[in-house]
């Protein structure tokens, strides 16, 4: 039990460090190597592509060779190297992105290996990332601190690698390929909608450090709480309930801060749930499942670039669409006869 | 292999302690003014040791992974 707790804590802490380090790199160090805003934008897209979308082919390779250990150390070493060397901006963005992807893949797989198909541990693992990104955005100037933390994370990961990761063979489900594909598509749609809204819903009042920090903490709590509640109340109830309530709260949040905090907390609750469903569905290709989750986030990120304003009507409509997509995916998912599932 | 890993962990810890003091103000941006200080990354010996360590770690981890893959294939 103690081992499992330290295992999860270390991965969660390292997740915070990786996201902090990568954000601080993009904002604090990459500007050294680019000359125009356009170049910076391209470098940022390259980073996001390799950090998110590239996880799918990388995950496929890991699943094929069934190697999940030491990958994250390589990832962190790559990020650390980018802090220490001067090179082409695009190449640096690519290497940092790959480093980020490698950590997330190993972390996702290893956490899943001890989670026993539950969502809580997934929630604990993904939650600190939001705080890392927020603090990275705020303190991007402190790149030495970021490098220091990356070295710390490497030490911690060396420690964690000593523990044996056992992938349970009995996690195989009874879903056929077409059903798996449909689940992935529908879960993907709900993730894409969440990703777009996450970029597009911007509160103008959230312009101070303290308000931004509370907002980020709400996201962290939402992700962790989502997994926790889903294990107790059921995946469907928590996901649909949180989607529905978040739509109301996010709309009210434009005028009343408290509702925005509650809204963003609720809005992030399905994250651990969708990740768990993807992992349980693709139980033989866990790294691919982790990669797909982030690839859908990347698709949402790209769509988020389109210049459309999200009014209250579109916001509520999008959330309803995400709810419907999740509902269909969940009904298909249940056919896999997942033993610990509460309906 | 375990011994190598332990040594590596200790060396990284050592670097960790000295990194802050030796390279603290190498690359630093004033959060208020947004100005860069320090210019290019420092060329101190520790800086190159750190780069070497990171590269060596990548190599060692890659060797471990490749060995595992070969073992599994056999």
ipTM: 0.79
Note whether A47 and A196 are same-domain residues: no
- pLDDT tens per residue across span A72-125: 999 999 998 888 887 788 999 999 999 999 999 999 998 988 887 788 898 999
Residue B37, helix vs strand vs coil: strand
Note whether A201 and A96 are same-domain residues: no
Phi, psi dihedrals of residue B36, rounded to the nearest 5°: -90, 140
Overall number of domains in chain A? 2
Q: Answer positive or negative: Cα dihedral of A279, A181, A244, A127.
A: positive
Q: Does B41 touch chain A (CB under 8 A)?
A: yes
Position A166 in a domain? no
The tokens describing A270, both together, are 């399905």
Q: Does B7 touch chain A (CB under 8 A)?
A: no
Position A165 in a domain? no
Q: A142 and B5: CB-CB below 8 Å?
A: no
Note whether A47 and A84 are same-domain residues: yes
Overall number of domains in chain B? 1
Q: What is the pLDDT of residue B16?
A: 62
Q: What is the pLDDT of residue A134?
A: 92
Q: A69 and B65: CB-CB below 8 Å?
A: yes
Distance CA A187, CA B67 (A): 37
Position A328 in a domain? yes
Using an 8 Å CB-CB cutoff, list chain B residues near A144.
19-20, 23-28
Position A87 in a domain? yes
Note whether A182 and A72 are same-domain residues: no
Q: A144 and B20: CB-CB below 8 Å?
A: yes
Q: What is the pLDDT of residue B25?
A: 45
- pLDDT tens per residue across span B16-42: 665 554 554 444 445 555 554 444 445
Task: List the single residue in A74, A83, A155 with the smallest CB-CB distance to B58.
Answer: A74
Note whether A146 and A194 are same-domain residues: no
Q: Which domain holds residue A100?
A: 2-160
Note whether A206 and A92 are same-domain residues: no
All residue ranges of chain A with pLDDT < 70 are 1-2, 162-174, 336-343
Note whether A150 and A12 are same-domain residues: yes
From A109, A134, A160, give the residue that closes a domain. Answer: A160
Note whether A229 and A268 are same-domain residues: yes
Using an 8 Å CB-CB cutoff, list chain A residues near B61.
70-71, 73-74, 77
Position A339 in a domain? no
**Distance from the B36 Cα atom to the nearest Cα atom in chain A, whole angstroms:** 9
Cα–Cα distance list, B40 to A104, A170, A257, B26, B48 (Å) = 30, 53, 42, 8, 14
Question: How far from chain centre, in Å, is Cα A132?
Answer: 12
Position A293 in a domain? yes
Q: Which of A34, A84, A150, A157 to mutate to test the interface with B (most CBs of B within 10 A)?
A: A84
The tokens describing B50, both together, are 């750190």
Using an 8 Å CB-CB cutoff, list chain A residues near B27.
28-29, 32, 83, 143-144
Phi, psi dihedrals of residue A142, rounded to the nearest 5°: -90, 65
Q: What is the pLDDT of residue B40?
A: 42
B73 pLDDT higher than 80: no
**Distance from the B6 Cα atom to the nearest Cα atom in chain A, whole angstroms:** 8
Position A341 in a domain? no
Note whether A280 and A303 are same-domain residues: yes
Position A340 in a domain? no
Can you give the three-state secondary structure of chain A, one letter per residue? CHHHHHHHHHHHHHHHHHHHHHHHHHHHHHHHCCCCHHHHHHHHHHHHHHHHHCHHHHHHHHHHHCCCCCHHHHHHHHHHHHHHCCCCHHHHHHHHHHHHHHHHHHHHHHHHHHHCCCCHHHHHHHHHHHHHHHHHHHCCCCHHHHHHHHHHHHHHHHHHCCCCCCCCHHHCCCCCHHHHHHHHHHHHHHHHHHHHHHHHCCCCCCCCHHHHHHHHHHHHHHHHHHHHHHHHHCHHHHHHHHHHHHHHHHHHCCCCHHHHHHHHHHHHCHHHHHHHHHHHHCCCCHHHHHHHHHHHHHHHHHHCCCCCCCCHHHHHHHHHHHHHHHHHHHHHHHCCCCCCCCC
Note whether A13 and A135 are same-domain residues: yes
Cα–Cα distance list, A38 to A34, A45, A90, A121, A217 (Å) = 9, 11, 12, 39, 32
Q: What is the pLDDT of residue A54?
A: 93
Q: Which of A109, A142, A149, A155 to mutate to test the interface with B (most CBs of B within 10 A)?
A: A155
Q: Which domain holds residue B36?
A: 2-73
Note whether A108 and A133 are same-domain residues: yes
Note whether A302 and A182 are same-domain residues: yes
Task: List the single residue in B8, B27, B51 with the smallest CB-CB distance to A81.
Answer: B51
Helical H runs in chain B? 2-23, 45-73
B44 pLDDT higher than 80: no
């Amino acid at each position: 039990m103690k081992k499992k707790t330290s295992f999860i804590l270390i991965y969660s802490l390292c997740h915070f460090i990786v996201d902090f380090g990568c954000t601080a790199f993009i904002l604090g160090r990459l500007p050294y190597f680019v000359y125009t805003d356009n170049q910076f934008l391209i470098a940022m897209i390259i980073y996001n592509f390799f950090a998110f979308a590239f996880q799918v082919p990388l995950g496929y390779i890991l699943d094929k060779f069934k190697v999940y250990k030491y990958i994250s150390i390589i990832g962190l070493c790559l990020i650390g190297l980018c802090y220490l060397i001067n090179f082409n901006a695009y190449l640096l963005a690519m290497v940092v992105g790959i480093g980020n992807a490698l950590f997330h893949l190993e972390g996702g797989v290893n956490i899943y290996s001890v989670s026993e198909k539950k969502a809580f541990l997934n929630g604990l693992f993904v939650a600190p990332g939001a705080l890392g990104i927020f603090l990275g955005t705020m303190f991007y100037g402190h790149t030495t601190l970021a490098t220091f933390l990356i070295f710390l994370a490497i030490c911690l990961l060396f420690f964690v690698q000593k523990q044996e990761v056992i992938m349970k063979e009995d996690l195989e489900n009874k879903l056929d390929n077409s059903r798996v594909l449909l689940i992935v598509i529908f879960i993907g749609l709900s993730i894409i909608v969440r990703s777009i809204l996450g970029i597009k819903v911007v509160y103008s009042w959230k312009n101070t450090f303290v308000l931004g920090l509370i907002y980020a903490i709400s996201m962290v709590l939402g992700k962790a709480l989502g997994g926790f509640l889903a294990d107790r109340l059921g995946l469907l109830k928590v996901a649909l309930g949180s989607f529905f309530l978040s739509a109301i709260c996010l709309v009210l949040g434009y005028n009343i801060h408290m509702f925005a905090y509650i809204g963003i907390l609720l809005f992030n609750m399905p994250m651990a749930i969708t990740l768990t469903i993807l992992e349980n569905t693709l139980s033989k290709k866990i790294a691919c499942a982790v990669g797909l989750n982030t690839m859908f986030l990347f698709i949402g990120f790209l769509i988020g670039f389109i210049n459309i304003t999200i009014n209250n009507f579109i916001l509520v409509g999008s959330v309803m669409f995400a709810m419907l997509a999740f509902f269909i995916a969940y009904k298909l998912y249940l056919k896999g006869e997942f033993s610990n599932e509460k309906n | 292999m375990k011994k190598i890993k332990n040594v590596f962990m200790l060396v990284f810890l050592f670097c960790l302690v000295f990194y802050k003091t030796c390279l603290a103000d190498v690359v630093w941006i004033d959060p208020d003014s947004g100005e860069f200080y320090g210019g290019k990354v420092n060329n101190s010996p520790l800086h190159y040791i750190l780069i070497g360590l990171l590269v060596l770690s990548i190599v060692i981890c890659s060797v471990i992974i490749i060995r595992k893959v070969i073992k599994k294939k056999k």
